[in-house]
Amino acid sequence: TCSLLRSPKGFPKLKNDTFLRAARGEETEHTPVWCMRQAGRYLPEFRETRASQDFFATCRSPKLCCELTLQPLRRFPLDAAIIFSDILVVPQALGMEIVMVPGKGPTFPEPLKEVEDLLKLRQKVDVTAELGYVFQAITLTRHTLEGKVPLIGFSGAPWTLMSYMIEGGGSTTMAKAKSWLYRHPEASHQLLRLLADVITDYLVGQVAAGAQALQLFESHAGHLGPELFQDFALPYIRDIAQAVKSKLKEEALPLVPMIIFAKDAHYALRDLAHAGYEVVGLDWTIRPQEARAQVGKDVTLQGNLDPCALYAPKEKIGELVKKMLESFGTQRYIANLGHGLYPDMNPEHVGAFVEAVHAHSRHINKH
């Protein structure tokens, strides 16, 4: 169980490093697999743990984050854990208020409307003061995992966070946020730079706390076309990788593998492959062979089963996984979904997905 905070030192020895080896491009006996949103509402034990708690109060409780992170690992032989948290803790650290509205999702009562609103944001963020609860959750979880699998830390990327902060929640068009890019390019860059700086410190802090890999989520990349992505997303994605790595070196922290997941940005795959990340995550809208041709051989790919494939019968899930592994190849590859698990999914089907990856990749490797 998740109790008693220990220091970040003296972590248990890692028993299964398949995920880290694949991320670094080393040979693996089987293809590692984990799922985005693997700690989530599709598990009855998750709903039970979270039942009485406000969502962001849960995020601020290291003990609950630890418990929720470990729940899927008790059920499935996943090759990695990802810390239970949310990308919107970064806007909170900048001083914005966010409430979780049932049936609607995260909502900002006072989104950024005018350029002047940028002055309301904290210009200097002490990540330990504002986000220390995430660092505590990571340290606690890393100990409680007892070296079973590596622990992934994460953050939202600047454009994705900016879009939430201006839209005030989810949006199908992102028209308010995109209008800033066209009407207020300087102010947009100012906000994106502020976010990139906070994200860099936040990710470095996660490694100091015990994260063994990092994923950057550019979940709203699909709302940008190639030009806007080139101007307002890619430069910050690149800067974050570079800045995180140089700070890790400076602070004598481990250089952990980094994953970039830019959903629906297949127009930018070549650029993402050269953005300084060891792993490029893929959504389900691109053919594996095409992705491999674009990113080349020096980057590991992660993804990209359509999450809805998990609604199929278990035998069908096995067939789809086999096809996916044959297309990607079993090496320099981490199996995952092309996006997160949905709340109404059957846990047994998630188990079937994980087991199929292990069984088929072992079989392919043997033959």
Residue tagged active-site, from 86, 117, 231, 306 = 86
**What residue has token string 């996660």?**
206
Residue tagged active-site, from 21, 42, 50, 264 = 50
CB 33 within 8 A of CB 335: yes
DSSP 37: T
Alpha-carbon gap, residue 160 to 261, rounded angstroms = 11
Both structure tokens of 130: 């504002």
- What's the sign of the alpha-carbon dihedral 310, 311, 315, 321? negative
Q: Is 270 a catalytic residue?
A: no
Alpha-carbon gap, residue 356 to 364, rounded angstroms = 12
Residue tagged active-site, from 42, 164, 277, 333 = 164
Alpha-carbon gap, residue 143 to 121, rounded angstroms = 35
Phi first, then psi: what are they for 245, rounded to 5°? -65, -40
Coil, helix or strand at residue 239:
helix
CB 312 within 8 A of CB 273: no
Both structure tokens of 185: 């390019």
What is the full DSSP assignment across 168-185? SS--SS-HHHHHHHHH-H
CB 255 within 8 A of CB 276: no
Closest by CA to 211, choosing from 303, 302, 136, is 136
SS3 content of the chain, % helix, strand, coil (to 5): 50, 10, 40
Residue tagged active-site, from 41, 75, 193, 362 = 41
Q: Is 332 a catalytic residue?
A: no
Phi first, then psi: what are they for 199, rounded to 5°? -60, -40
Q: Is 24 a catalytic residue?
A: no
Q: Is 41 a catalytic residue?
A: yes
Q: Is 164 a catalytic residue?
A: yes
Alpha-carbon gap, residue 112 to 135, rounded angstroms = 28
User: Which residues are known catalytic residues?
Assistant: 37, 41, 50, 86, 164
